[in-house]
Structure 1
Amino acid sequence: MLAVAAVSQNADDPLSGLDVGEQPAPDVPDGWTTVSIRAATLNHHDLFSLRGVGLPADRLPMILGCDAAGVSADGDEVIVHAVIGDPAAGGGDETLDPRRTLLSELYPGTLAEAVAVPRRNLVPKPPALSFEEAACLPTAWLTAYRMVVHRSALPAAGGGTLLVQGAGGGVSTAAIILGKAAGHTVLVTSRDAAKRERALKIGADEAFEPGARLPVRVDAVIETVGAATWGHSLRSLRPGGRIVCSGTTTGANPPAELNRLFFLQLSVVGSTMGTRDELAELAAFIDRTGVRPLVNDVRPLADARASFAKLVRGDVFGKLVLTV
């Protein structure tokens, strides 16, 4: 079958190990099933794999991709949940299973004509969502949904204030749209003036340069940038506010500023992906509110290299979609 795979790894030139060609059809263990892919999307996780981060070389070649929507072996339109784990091992949350893995880490991923997954990893696709839109949800959008709705401690009825650091990435773009749909005031930062303008167009209330003094102290911060924005995130919180962190793209060891942390009684919580049930919640939320994932580019699977090149350049605002 046609698939996009990592066949070698290079930290400086990740695309040198990218292969778009024939790969074996996936094995289907007991309790698993197959999905015929209709659309899949790219994530920075795919570039990490090509750079040798998180994917041991002895697992190559590995079909890349975490996100997909398609048609199950039973003929149902479904969204694929990318976390392979046991909820019981995580106290009811498969993301807390110490042995959890994502598609494309231990098992072949979604950038292919078909993927094999546990049956419980299938979520019904709302009919109102296209396959391209549905394929955006399982990684970046699910990560943002858990951060905004379940980890931020913002009021469920809306009315909170949210700062999203680094507008433009998949998680931050989703957080802007979801935060507004949930009824919160959303502020964003970006060093790119064009991305600040786009953030305003998709619903952000105000956009600022990194480090700028904000007009209000916020209730929560969505933090995926790390060292470059960490101090600003702490300074932007009201007393008792909360940082929700799911990434560190500019470095994982910022100054802790513990005096500010304890004196203002701030909270810092981590967040990784989301559960299968949260993915179902997200799909229902998208269906109910009418908001839609922001798609940057759609190409056929055979043109995957061009999409990966865009991802490497950072020339992206929204999701890169590959169709089968």
Structure 2
Amino acid sequence: MRAAYASALNPDEPLRGLTVGDLPERATPDGWVPVEVRASSLNHHDLWSLRGVGLPADRLPMILGCDAAGVDPDGNEVVVFPVVEDKVDPRGFSIFSERHPGGIAERIAAPRENLIAKPAGVSFAEAACLPTAWLTAYHMLVTRGRIAEGGSVLVQGAGGGVATAAVAIGVALGKRVYATSREQWKRERISELGATALEPGARLPERVDVVIESVGEPTFDHSMKCAAPGARIVVCGATAGHKATIDLRRVFAMRIEILGSSMGTPDELAALLQLVADSTVRPVIDSTHPFSEAAKAFERLDAGEVFGKVVIDHLA
């Protein structure tokens, strides 16, 4: 079975451990279902895996890819929810490509309950963008951030998968969305999505009800200052530093909630798929690559200049 997999681990040059080739297919566990993959998408999780973060050498070779969409044995078009209950893992769960083979392959085996119906109006490429980054953004906005209670959102560091998804989803939900980026070309793309694009640290025209925070230390003080009374600052990462300084006086005086967040649920993935099917919002795709050029897709992600998701078309 052809696959893109980690054959070695290299903390400094992760792509040196990437192999695209044939691997023996593992037996499908009881209660699991094989899915013929039609499209998959990349996440920075894949690069961290190649560095050895969360993927020890004794699990190699490991097929990469958290996100996949395809067809089950009954001909149903499905999206694979990426989280698997795992009693061995200290977290109580694992993500495909950590303990179980991922989706950048001809087939992926998944628990039957992880297969979510793909609406007819959503392409395989679009569906493959949703399970990790877009689901994380949806969970941050809708569930943790309770965006229905507010009308405005600030997204810090737009350009990557989660932040760009948060911009697009916030606009689709009819909210006033502000987003920051250091790069002019990314701010132009943000504006095209319907948001107000700003430089990092810029003054907003209003204090917002929800802040989507994945940058961390460099932006957190700005996030605090932009938060309206009773606002929710939802944190899913700290890509630029995790030791932010917080003025606790502002937290209690403004009644600000600081909420941790990660991933989402199968029901939320189904709701997100329906939102995409029923509205004009579509996953932001940076580039699409045929499976034969999967290595180039990884190079594109590793270069750090992507806007949106990098997709692999398994039929091309």
Fold match by TM threshold 0.5: yes
In structure 2, the partner of 1:244 is 234
CA offset digits 1:222-274 (Å, max 9, x no partner): 01111111111111101211101111111222113222222221101111111
How does 1:55-134 map onto structure 2 within 5 Å?
55-85=55-85, 98-134=91-127
Aligned with residue 146 of structure 1, among 139, 145, 157: 139
Which deviations, in whole Å up to 9, do the C-alpha atoms of 1:65-123 show, x marking residues without a partner? 0001100011111011001027xx9xxxxxxx941110000000001010000000001
Shift in Å at residue 290 of structure 1?
2.9
2:255 is matched with which residue: 265, 282, 285?
265
Q: Does structure 2 conserve the Cα–Cα contact (< 8 Å) formed by 1:68 and 1:79? A: yes
Distance 1:251 1:301 in 2: 34
Cα shift readout 1:277-303 (whole Å, capped 9, x = no counterpart): 111111111111131111111111121
Task: Report if the CA contact (8 A) 1:26-1:114 is conserved.
Answer: no
Counting only pairs closer than 5 Å after superposition, residues 289-300 of structure 1 correspond to structure 2 as 289-300=279-290
CA distance in 2 between counterparts of 1:57 and 1:226 reads 30
- Which residue number in structure 2 is paired with residue 92 of structure 1? none
Corresponding letter in the other structure for 2:75: G
For structure 2, the residue ranges without an aligned partner over 5 or more in a row are: none
Matched residue, 1:232: 222
State whether structure 2 residue 265 is matched by structure 1 residue 275.
yes
Structure 2: distance between partners of 1:51 and 1:256? 31
| Aligned match of 2:159 | 168
- Alignment partner of 1:4 is 2:4: yes
Q: Secondary structure at the match of 1:101?
A: strand
Q: Which amino acid aligns with 1:167?
A: A
* 1:203 equivalent in structure 2: 194
String of CA shifts for 1:113-138, please: whole Å, max 9, x gaps: 10000000001111111111111110
Secondary structure in 1 aligned to 2:105?
coil
- 1:321 corresponds to: 311
RMSD: 1.4
Following the alignment from structure 1 to structure 2, what is the Cα–Cα distance between the partners of residues 302 and 223? Answer: 36
Normalising by structure 2, report the TM-score. Answer: 0.96
Amino acid corresponding to residue 220 of structure 1 in structure 2: V
Looking at structure 1, the residues matched to 170 and 124 of structure 2 have their Cα atoms a distance apart, in angstroms, of 23
3-state SS, counterpart of residue 26 of structure 1: coil
Q: Which residue of 1 aligns with 2:181?
A: 190
Task: Give the drift of 1:311.
Answer: 0.8
Deviation at 1:8, TM superposition (A): 1.2
* Cα distance in 2 between the residues matched to 1:138 and 1:248: 20
Specify the code of the residue in structure 2 equivalent to 1:19: T
Task: Name the SS of the counterpart of 1:239 in structure 2.
Answer: strand
Cα shift readout 1:180-216 (whole Å, capped 9, x = no counterpart): 1111100000000110110010121x11111111111
Partners of 1:224 and 1:246 within 8 A in 2: yes
Aligned residues: 312
> Contact (CA 8 Å) 1:26, 1:115: kept in 2 or not?
no
- Whole-Å Cα distance in 1 between the matches of residues 113 and 270 of structure 2? 11
Distance (whole Å) between structure 2 residues aligned to residue 315 and residue 26 of structure 1: 35
Give distance in 1, aligned partners of 2:53 and 2:174.
37
> 1:256 matched to which residue of 2?
246
Q: Which amino acid aligns with 2:136?
A: T
1:221 and 2:184 equivalent? no
Deviation for aligned residue 1:64: 0.4
Could you tell me how far apart the structure 2 residues matched to 1:256 and 1:5 are? 41
- Unpaired runs of 5+ residues, structure 1, are 90-96
Alignment match, 2:274: 284
Tell me the TM-score normalized by structure 1.
0.93
Matched, 1:48 2:48: yes
* Distance in 2 separating the partners of 1:265 and 1:115: 45
Distance 2:147 2:104 in 1: 35
Residue type of the partner of 1:200?
Answer: S
